[in-house]
Structure 1
Amino acid sequence: MDRQYKLLTPGPLTTTRSVKEEMLFDHCTWDDDYKAITQRIRADLLELAHCDPQRYTAVLMQGSGTFGVESVLTSVVGRKDKILLCTNGAYGERQMEICEHAGIAYEQYSEPYGRIPDAAEIARRLDTDPTITHVSMIHSETTSGILNDIEAAARAAKEHGATFIVDAMSSFGGVDIPVQEWGIDFLVSSANKCIQGVPGFSFIIGDTAKIKASRGTARSLSLDLWDQWNTMETSGGKWRYTSPTHVVLAFAKALDEMREEGGIPARSARYAANNRMLIARMTTLGFGTYLPAHQGPIITTFLYPRGVAFDFADMYAAIKERGYAIYPGKLTDEDTFRLGNIGEIYADDIRRVTCIIADYMAQRGLLAPASGFADADEAGTAMDRAEQAAR
C-alpha cells in the first residue's frame, strides 16, 4: 500500500510538499536569522487576526494546541478569579480538566453537542454571579463540527467586564476572526490547522496589557505565558526553551503559501466549498449529518446509514487503502464518523473520496438499502447532480 495518503481530518492535515521540504534545513534556536523568522510569524499572525500591534501581541508556545490553551488558562486566570467554561463538546470539557488539575475556580455552562451556547445565558450567569471574571468558549468544536457564535459571546463578556478567551484551534485561518473588533482578549490556535503547517507549537494572540498584568500568576514554569512573551519581546524573538525549529520554518512557509492563495478569504471560500460539496454528496449516499444547524466549514459528523450492517472500521480500512484517512466519531449518543475538508484538499479530493465510499457501499451490498441506488455509477451521477445544486 502507498504510505502517502491524504488526511480528511481537522488537523494534523495534509500539507504541501514545499512546506515539508522547509524542514530539511537545520537551524540554531539562538541565531538572529531564526529569531527574525519568529518575529515575522508573530507579526503575520496579528495581521491575520486584524489586530493593532500597539494593543495586541502574538506568543508562540511549544507543544500542541492543548498546551496553548493550558498556558492561557493557567497564566491569566488568577487565584481569586473564576472562569465560566461554555461547553458543547469534548474540547470544552478538556478545559474543565485543565482547571481541575490546576485548581482554577470555574463554572460550567453546558449545552448538548448539537446546540451552540447562548450569549443571553452567558449574560444571565454573569449577572447572577459577579465572581466570574473570565469566559471561555471553543469556536469550531470538532467533536461535532459545530461553529459556535463567539462574536455574540464576546459581546456579552465585554458588557460585563469579563475577559474573553477563545479556543480557535481548528478555525483560525480558515474562518475570518476580527479578534480586536469582536473584543476577544485571548485566542489560541495551532500550527497544524488552517494555516496548514505541521504539529509542534501553538500560538496565542492576546491583549498585551492583560498579558503584562498576568505576571506572577502562572501555575506552570514552562507554560508561563507572561514569561514566554517577555522573553520574545526582550530577546528579539528568542524562545525561552528549545523551540521546534523545523516546525517553525515549515509554518513560515505555510504562511507564505496562504498569502499566495489569497489569504483567509480565499482559503475560507475553498474550505466552505469543500464542505458544501461533501455534505451534498454524502447525503446522496444515505449518510445524514448529525448537526441540525450551525454546521462549520471544517469537519462534518455523519450518522451511520440506517437499516444496514455498517462497519466503520471496515470502511476506514478500505478508504485508507485507496489514499484517504478519515476520522471516527467522538459522540457518545449516536453512531457517527467524521470527515474533515481542510488542508491541501480540493474539489477533486471530495469527489474522489465520495466515489470511493460509493464503491465500498456497492461492494458490501449496502448501497441499495442505504440510498436506493443500484450501483456506484448510478450513485456517482446522482452525487454530481447534488453537488451542482449545492454550489
Structure 2
Amino acid sequence: MKTALFTPGPGNTSDSVRAALNCDLGTRTPQMMALTKHLRKQIAEVARCNDDFSVVPLQGSGTFAVEAMMTSLLPAKTPSLILVNGPYGERMAEICRIHALPHYVLRSDPLQPINVVTVADYLESHNDITALVLVHLETGIGITNPLEELLVLAEQRGLHVFSDSMSAFGLLPIKFASSSLSAVAASSNKVLHGVPGLSFVIARRDILEKPGTARTLSLDLKAQYHGFQHDGMWRFTPPVQVISALSSAIDDYLLQGGQTTRLESYKQRARRVIDGLAPLDIRPLVTGSHSAPAIVTFVLPFDEQVLSASLLSERLLSSNIVIYPSRVAEKNSFRVGFIGELTAEDIDRLITVMTDIVCEIRRQLA
C-alpha cells in the first residue's frame, strides 16, 4: 500500500520525478553545468523575477538556504528586525544569535498573521533598523503572513526585505518588482514537489556582488554566486540526482498550469479534508483568509490522555498515512500538509481511517 505523506514536506513524488533520480553525472562535466544552468532558469521562471535577481542553489534543506541568505546578505553593521509568529521565525532569530548578527525580534500571536501596523509602530521607535526578515507562510502552524503589505511598508521606509518562502514559493505570489525585496529562500521538496536535499536563494544581483566579509564557508552565498558566474560549477559536491529530480518536477509544475493550478489543487484537498473531519469534531485551529492551503493545523476533540496527537500519528502510520503531531497554544493538535502527489483516494483513506479511530475511542468512552 502506498505511503501517503500528509506532511508539510517532503511529500509524495511523481513517477517522472523518481525516474529523474536515476541519473549519474560527473559533478564537473559540461552536462552538469548545463543541468545547473537550466535549473536556475527554471526556478527564475517559476519566480517570474527579472534579471535584477539571480537564482543561487545550495546543497541542503531549506534551513541551509535561510542561514546562507541571512549570514551572507543581511547588513553587517545595522540591525535587522526579525518578525516572529511561529517556530520558523524563531529559527531565524536563532540564526542571528548564533552568528552575532545585529537584530531585534518582534514576536506576535502565532494564531494570527503579522500585523503591519504593529510593525510600523515598532519601526517608528527603532530608526536604526535597515531590514525586515520574515516567514512568508509559517509552516509550523499554517499562517500566511502579509508579505506584499510589508513590502509596501519597507518601500516607504527604504528598508530591505528578506523572506523565508519555503512553503509559499510556487504557490503564492511574490512581488519581485518591489524595490525593497532583496532575497527569497525556498527549497526543492515543498510546493515544487521535488525531493529533499536542495535549496535555493533568489537574490538581487547588486547585493550578491557587493563586497563583504564571509561569515561561513560552505554557506557563503556570494561565493557560490560568483562561482556560477565564473565557470558554472558548484563550489562543493552538488546533489546531482536531486537537481535532476527538481528539474523534472518543475517541468511537471509548469505543464500542469503553474501557480494557479497548484494553489487550486491544494485548496480542494484542504476543503475535502476539513469537510471530512468536521463530523468528528476535528476542526482547523486557524480559519479565515490568512489560513494557508498548503498546511492546516487541526485540533483533536479529546484530552491528550484519551487520544494524543502523537498516538494518532502512530495509529495512522500503521495504515501507511503520515501526519505531524503539533503543539500550538497548548492545544492537542496535529498538522496535515496538502503538498506532493496526493490523490483523492489518499484523502478518502485518511478520512476513513481517522473516522474509524475516533469512533472506536468514543465507543470506549461511552
Flag whether TM exceeds 0.5 (same fold). yes
Q: Which residue of 2 aligns with 1:94?
A: 91
Query: Does 2:225 align with 1:229?
Result: yes
Query: Does 2:293 align with 1:297?
Result: yes
The 2-side partners of 1:313 and 1:368 are apart by 19
Q: Which residue of 1 aligns with 2:12?
A: 14
The 1-side partners of 2:364 and 2:273 are apart by 17
**1:1-391 equivalent positions in 2, closer than 5 A:** 4-53=2-51, 55-181=52-178, 183-213=180-210, 215-236=211-232, 238-293=233-288, 294-306=290-302, 309-331=306-328, 333-365=330-362
Q: 1:280-331 CA deviation, whole Å, 9 max, x = no partner?
A: 2222221122114321011111112147922333322332222211111042
Q: 1:132-190 CA deviation, whole Å, 9 max, x = no partner?
A: 11101101111211111111111111211111011011121122323234842211001
* Contact 1:78–1:217 (CA under 8 A) maintained in structure 2: no
Unaligned runs of 5+ in 1: 370-391
The 2-side partners of 1:281 and 1:368 are apart by 22
The 1-side partners of 2:353 and 2:333 are apart by 18
* Contact 1:158–1:164 (CA under 8 A) maintained in structure 2: no
Report the more deviating stretch, 81-90 or 217-226.
217-226
Q: Do the aligned partners of residues 312 and 77 (structure 1) sit closer, same or farther apart at CA in structure 2, a change above 3 Å counting?
A: closer
* Contact 1:29–1:242 (CA under 8 A) maintained in structure 2: yes
The one-letter code matched in structure 2 to 1:217 is T
* Contact 1:64–1:201 (CA under 8 A) maintained in structure 2: yes
The 2-side partners of 1:171 and 1:87 are apart by 17
TM score, norm. by length of structure 2: 0.94
* Contact 2:42–2:247 (CA under 8 A) maintained in structure 1: no
The one-letter code matched in structure 2 to 1:264 is Q
The one-letter code matched in structure 2 to 1:20 is R
The 1-side partners of 2:364 and 2:278 are apart by 12
> RCO (CA 8 Å, sep 6+): is it higher in 1 or 2?
2
| SS state at 1:20 partner | helix
The 1-side partners of 2:78 and 2:197 are apart by 31
Q: Do the aligned partners of residues 284 and 42 (structure 1) sit closer, same or farther apart at CA in structure 2, a change above 3 Å counting?
A: same
Q: 1:357-386 CA deviation, whole Å, 9 max, x = no partner?
A: 1112223335997xxxxxxxxxxxxxxxxx
* Contact 1:358–1:367 (CA under 8 A) maintained in structure 2: no
| SS state at 1:179 partner | coil
* Contact 1:197–1:251 (CA under 8 A) maintained in structure 2: yes
Report the more deviating stretch, 86-95 or 284-293.
284-293
RMSD: 1.9
Deviation at 1:127, TM superposition (A): 2.5
* Contact 1:75–1:224 (CA under 8 A) maintained in structure 2: yes
The 1-side partners of 2:363 and 2:89 are apart by 36
Q: Do the aligned partners of residues 348 and 182 (structure 1) sit closer, same or farther apart at CA in structure 2, a change above 3 Å counting?
A: farther
Q: How many residues align?
A: 364
The one-letter code matched in structure 2 to 1:228 is Q
Deviation at 1:74, TM superposition (A): 0.6
The 1-side partners of 2:327 and 2:266 are apart by 22
Q: 1:255-283 CA deviation, whole Å, 9 max, x = no partner?
A: 11111211111111101111122222222
Q: Do the aligned partners of residues 132 and 40 (structure 1) sit closer, same or farther apart at CA in structure 2, a change above 3 Å counting?
A: same
The one-letter code matched in structure 1 to 2:221 is L
TM score, norm. by length of structure 1: 0.89
Deviation at 1:333, TM superposition (A): 2.2
The one-letter code matched in structure 2 to 1:333 is E
